[in-house]
């Protein structure tokens, strides 16, 4: 299991990651835009980052530009992301995290694997991923 922060931006993710990469002497990896994704976003948003990772010595987090229909405000810019290799384990964790909280995306199969997003009962945002 791997748990790490996932930062959300309002259209300026590339600019922020470039700043952090320079600041922390890290590299932007696994850069993906909305261009070829089956996600309903305006054409003007297609070049924005749907996913990216910043990696370096002591630095490892993920980031993306939230779609325009997802308002970004202070407090929801950071999600904790959990990667698990077992679907049943991931589903069980998601159910426990979302209990007495709020489910934003049901845990189900997506084009990249299984995924669910919720806010737990303490107000912490979580993304649970499984690529099996």
What is the value of pTM for the model shown?
A: 0.78
CA proximity to 6, closest of 40, 56, 68, 50:
50
Question: What are the backbone dihedrals phi and psi of residue 56, each rounded to the nearest 5 degrees, phi first?
Answer: -170, -175
Query: What is the spatial distance between Cα 90 and Cα 3, in angstroms, rounded to a whole number?
Result: 12
Predicted local confidence at residue 32, as pLDDT: 95
The residues with which 28 forms a beta bridge, in sequence order, are 54
Predicted local confidence at residue 85, as pLDDT: 94
**Edge-to-edge strand ranges of the sheet holding 2-9:** 27-33, 49-56, 59-65, 2-9, 78-83, 125-130, 113-119, 102-110
- Sketch out the chain's domains with CATH numbers: 1-78 (3.10.180.10), 84-132 (3.10.180.10)
Low pLDDT (below 70) residues in the chain: none
């Amino acid at each position: 299991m791997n748990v790490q922060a996932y930062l959300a931006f309002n259209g300026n993710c590339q600019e922020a990651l470039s700043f952090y990469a320079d600041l922390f002497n890290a590299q932007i990896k696994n850069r993906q835009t909305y261009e070829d994704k089956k996600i309903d976003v305006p054409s003007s948003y297609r070049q924005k980052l749907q996913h990216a990772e910043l990696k370096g010595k002591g630095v490892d987090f993920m980031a993306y530009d939230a779609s325009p229909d997802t308002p970004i405000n202070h407090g929801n810019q950071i999600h904790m992301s959990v990667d698990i290799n077992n679907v049943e384990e991931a589903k069980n964790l998601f159910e426990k995290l979302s209990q007495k909280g709020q489910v934003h995306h049901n845990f189900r199969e997506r084009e990249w694997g299984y995924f669910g997003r919720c806010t737990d009962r303490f107000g912490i945002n979580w993304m649970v991923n499984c690529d099996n």
